[in-house]
Amino acid sequence: MTQPQSGAVAGVVAIYPGSFDPITSGHLDVIERGSRMFKRVIVAILQNEAKQPLFSVAERMEMLRESVTAFPGVEVDTFQGLLADYALAKDASVILRGIRAISDYEYELQMALMNRRLQPGLETIFLPASETFSFISSKLVKEVISLGGNITGLVPPLVEDRLRRRIAKYKPSI
């Protein structure tokens, strides 16, 4: 098992949940910062049947695993159901969330309070987005690339390549 970097909270397991469809540079920033703070960070992909993702769960897991190899103590997993139950099953005491704007905070605060109600002792840590990544979302990245825009630096290169191939596959030939 890899050891956390110095300064990591001894024994604390954090979960960074999301759809990661696809992973962005903003997500990686939160993961890197979390890996310095906690013994273990589990990047957990929520399997949500209500959403229609561009990439399958298996594809997202593969892209995430390739993207987080440089960060100590980070693993990738998937879950269904309540995050609070998943956290309990993984012996996690912290939910890690990135916040880009006030609108994110309002939603995330509701989720944090509900998770703590469901599993007392489960805390949520909000990390403000780095200025460089504060405007990036998976949805916006997909929209920009589908319209022919440049997303270099907004996602890891391996993700950009897969996005270009996936978008090209679905675009009708003119």
Q: Which residues are catalytic?
A: 27, 51, 100, 138
Cα dist from 56 to 22, 61, 62, 78, 149, whole Å: 10, 9, 10, 12, 23
Peptide bond into 22 cis (omega under 30): yes
- Judge residue 61's burial from the number of C-beta atoms within 10 Å of its C-beta, 0-12 exposed, 13-18 middle, 19 or more buried: middle
Pairwise CA distance, residues 65 & 162, whole Å: 14
Pairwise CA distance, residues 96 & 92, whole Å: 10
Paired with 17 in beta bridges are 44
161 CA to centre of own chain: 19
